Amino acid sequence: MKYRVRLDLILDDSRLSLANTIYTQLLTSLKDHARVIELTMEHSFLEIEECHHDESPPKPCVILKRVEK
């Protein structure tokens, strides 16, 4: 059995610095624990997205950083 933790934390547009800090702290503290599920080829990942869902018209998210294991 595996356990999965997902975090979807939406921050104001002025909070890119905070998003980077959270990303770095999680990556540093958890990177050795992430695993690939070999049978399904699912990877653990951590990413920061720039979201445009609140704009009119809405645009897709843009991945700024992503790391997979």
pLDDT at 17: 92
Which position has the higher pLDDT, 69 or 14? 14
Domain range annotation of the chain: 16-68
Query: What are the backbone dihedrals phi and psi of residue 52, each rounded to the nearest 5 degrees, phi first?
Result: -125, 25
Which position has the higher pLDDT, 66 or 35? 66
| Residues facing residue 49 across a β-bridge | 63
Contact in structure between 63 and 49 (CB atoms under 8 Å)? yes
Contacting residues for 11 by C-beta, under 8 A, at least 6 apart = 18, 19
pLDDT at 51: 87
Give per-residue pLDDT as tens, 12-63: 878 889 988 988 888 787 767 766 556 667 777 888 898 888 889 999 989 9
Is the pLDDT assigned to residue 68 strictly greater than 70? yes
